[in-house]
Structure 1
Amino acid sequence: MFADFVWGGFEGASHRRHDGKRVDSIAGTQHDRWAMLDHAILRSLGVRCARESLRWHLIERRRGEYDFTSALEQVRGARAAGMRVVWGLCHWGVPDHLDVMSPEFPRALADFARACVRMLRAEGADVAGWVPVNEMAFWAWAGGETGGFGPYLMKRGDQLKHQLVRGHLAAVRALREAGALEPIMVCEPLIWVVPREGRNEEAQARAEVEASFAALDQILAEDASAIDVVGFNYYPHNQWTLLRRTVRQGSRAYRPLRELLRDAARRFDRPIIISETGAEDPMGDAWLGYIAAEAQAALDLGVDLQALCVYPILDYPGWDNGRHCPCGPIGTEDGRRFVRPGQRAALQRLGALRARSPVR
């Protein structure tokens, strides 16, 4: 389905955090200014496909009026470097004039999707795929269950998840009507929850895991054609106990990623991608080594693993406090970009996986 196995993803979060401030990770990394350079660096590392986000809150400041000026550096930078791009439409952020819980939300996202197709077509962009709504399960928890970020709801996670599902379905219909035939993806967290020893908590732990799949189940139940590829985001903190303590890799309770991917592939019967993975320094090199080994093991188990996206590919400011988060192959220091040698080598190891895959 994809020409390239290894992708790089530019952080695109645009939600409103707990204090009401808008997060704009693309501006925070200056990727909106230096996208041409960033894509050129990525291409020099042997990567030819990227995940990018279109900042809906900047593009549609008034309902139905679309100004794509904020996206042009990303679009043209990717095109100049010969990069294919998987475009995200709604990365946890909506325009200020729109309430994500309103009946208007699905229609507004569909209209935005059509406008994005027109713009990218006019720019001659090489589109690899679409992510209508990023991490619906996480957004439902953070914004609908715990009030951690917009829309700041408590104990209404299922309602927010329902809205996001409606948005995804509406956007997919709009994309297809506009002639966009590229793969439709979801990018959802892949988690594992561990009950405490000696406690009767298995059902509670499994319910938490099931909740992370609920949006996918709802979409596929309504329209089986609305997801072509199931993407899973997996980080060092994606396994935890019911007390919210991280289960570390190497501990007895930790489940290998290969098993999680195998089980998910069987459940959804669709091509799989690892849509986000990575770790901050000094763990980054070792983490990508682990991911390479587990991805190969998953391929050996027969998982139809189509791609793997290192994400974020570029250092970014933390959502809550703006701290410098050193991660991925492209580092930043004093306004300049540099390449981490260990991450360059890790990308090369990841790129070798496709040739060894038994399912191709």
Structure 2
Amino acid sequence: GWDLISGRLWPQIGGQERYLDVIGVNYYYNNQWIHCGPPIDIGHPLYKPFSNILIETYARYGRPLIIAETGIEGERRVAWYSYVSSQARLAMRAGVPLEGLCLYPIADHPGWDDNRMCQNGLLSAEVSIGGRQADAALSSAIRRDGPISNPIITQAARLTGL
């Protein structure tokens, strides 16, 4: 899609480099796979570390990145968040201008194509008088790891009161 937007592929449809300002990267456990085979998960010999994907994406497009979506269901939530967060920091240390990380979805929800409850958010699906209950372990991991953000943007936000 980014090649279409930038005009690298099928320029006749109107894409141009200037239309790419920030690249949003969605990343889930099943984003790597063997054609006609199962997903390649962490630990598989062919698995490419997420930091490498971020570095390659920045090298290809030369635009700041944001991890626009990431998450996983169930017991792997904390480990997945910690993995993605650590990989983001590795990419930043390698020079990738990474503007942030968005946990998605933020709240548990019914499945997109069935009614099972997907426990993949920071917040519970149920709303009580006090609001939604936060997943304690994931909350702790997010606080422990701290924000993923560009220090210049973070400083500007502090100075402007955002």
Fold match by TM threshold 0.5: yes
1:301 pairs with 2:94? yes
Q: Would you say the 8 A contact 2:100–2:147 is kept in 1?
A: no
Secondary structure (helix, strand or coil) at the match of 1:240 reads coil
Q: Corresponding residue for 2:10? A: none
Q: Corresponding residue for 1:218? A: 4
**Percent of pairs with identical residues:** 35
The CA distance in 2 between the partners of 1:339 and 1:324, in whole Å, is 16
Q: CA deviation at 1:323?
A: 1.1
1:338 pairs with 2:124? no
Task: Tell me the matched-pair count.
Answer: 143
TM-score with structure 1 setting the length: 0.38
Distance 1:224 1:294, change over 3 A: same
Q: CA deviation at 1:319?
A: 1.2
1:322 pairs with 2:115? yes
1:328-355 Cα deviation digits (max 9, x unpaired): 210124x532111111112223434448
Q: Corresponding residue for 2:69? A: 276
Q: CA deviation at 1:281?
A: 1.2
- Written as runs of structure 1 = structure 2, the 5 A alignment for 1:131-150 is none
- Written as runs of structure 1 = structure 2, the 5 A alignment for 1:151-230 is 215-221=1-7, 222-230=15-23
1:312-333 Cα deviation digits (max 9, x unpaired): 0101111111211011210124
Secondary structure (helix, strand or coil) at the match of 1:255 reads coil
The CA distance in 1 between the partners of 2:59 and 2:42, in whole Å, is 24
Secondary structure (helix, strand or coil) at the match of 1:231 reads strand
**In structure 1, what residue type is equivalent to 2:5?**
I
User: Aligned to 2:52, which of 230, 246, 259?
Assistant: 259
The CA distance in 1 between the partners of 2:24 and 2:56, in whole Å, is 14
Secondary structure (helix, strand or coil) at the match of 2:75 reads coil
Q: CA deviation at 1:252?
A: 1.2
User: Aligned to 1:313, which of 106, 119, 125?
Assistant: 106
Secondary structure (helix, strand or coil) at the match of 1:239 reads coil
User: Aligned to 1:347, which of 136, 142, 145?
Assistant: 142
Q: Would you say the 8 A contact 1:231–1:274 is kept in 2?
A: yes
The CA distance in 1 between the partners of 2:116 and 2:34, in whole Å, is 27
1:33-70 Cα deviation digits (max 9, x unpaired): xxxxxxxxxxxxxxxxxxxxxxxxxxxxxxxxxxxxxx
1:239-292 Cα deviation digits (max 9, x unpaired): 111123011101211110000100000101100010000111111011001111
Q: Any gaps of 5 or more consecutive residues in structure 1? A: 1-214
Q: Corresponding residue for 1:286? A: 79
Q: Would you say the 8 A contact 1:258–1:297 is kept in 2?
A: yes
Q: Would you say the 8 A contact 1:278–1:310 is kept in 2?
A: yes
Say which one has the larger Rg: 1
The CA distance in 2 between the partners of 1:275 and 1:244, in whole Å, is 26
Q: Any gaps of 5 or more consecutive residues in structure 2? A: 8-14, 156-162
- Written as runs of structure 1 = structure 2, the 5 A alignment for 1:74-85 is none
The CA distance in 2 between the partners of 1:259 and 1:248, in whole Å, is 15
Moved over 3 A (4+): 352-357
Q: Would you say the 8 A contact 1:292–1:349 is kept in 2?
A: no
